[in-house]
Chain A
């Protein structure tokens, strides 16, 4: 347990510094606010619509793949800590086991890349006509569709 005192000090120091930066700038900083300064983006586009919107599922897919690969790395971490100072029998056996694991990992990785799972899939948000595909409803691109993808302003 005593081995972790350094991490606790690091976390505590980081918390103090972050807290000081936020609270001191809040306390000491001048506060002459204007409606323009209060807007969500002081420079940039005007906010459009509500913040509570439905997000496309492609965000969720990226998060899901992140979790799965994250868990795969967690398994490797306990191996790294013990491998270097272990005896030869452990090293050879566990190396084989981890190689089998890594092959399955690479298969998953290759599959993700092959089906373009982490590419930005515009088919979920763009109008079919914009992708050069036949429109299922055979309708021209309406103003509302353009508004949905942020095209018309």
Chain B
């Protein structure tokens, strides 16, 4: 439980950094830390494939995309992004608290029922997932490849000037 506490504190601090830093690149670096720590949390919950996928896909690939978006949008210096305090900020906090409350109300009862909040050893290992993914869940697996093909064609059509 202590490992989880340390990881959770780091994850929350990194997530706060994403929101509170005014420089978009610093926020992105905080997001990298958050993704990494989240992967470790998956590991201690015995969801190993999920943890590895988190590192490969999110910290590896999605972050590159985020950094490219930051460069693409040309946000300017940090001083350009001092947000004005206005009623929208208050409203945003209100909606955020409401969303957190709704999620918590759904989750807390389930957490209370379980004294052992992690899966069995090997439950989320790549072997176990490979066994069911290619037999029981083979249809979603094939649909995922069609989805990725659509993603490839769509991104090329959107971004390429001349085909």
Contacts and interface: CB of A to CB of B under 8 A. Distances in A.
A67 B61 CA distance: 5
B160 A115 contact: yes
Interface string B51-93: 0110011001110110011011111110000000000000000
A124 B161 CA distance: 7
Interface residues of B, number: 51
Contact of B76 (A52, A77, A108): A52
Tier of interface size on chain A: 35 or more
Interface of B: 43-44, 46, 48-49, 52-53, 56-57, 60-62, 64-65, 68-69, 71-77, 121, 125-127, 129-131, 133-135, 138, 141-142, 144-146, 148-149, 151-153, 155-156, 159-163
Contacts of A61: 155-156, 159-160
Majority DSSP secondary structure for residues of B touching A = helix
A116 to B, nearest CB: 8
Majority DSSP secondary structure for residues of A touching B = helix
B134 A60 contact: no
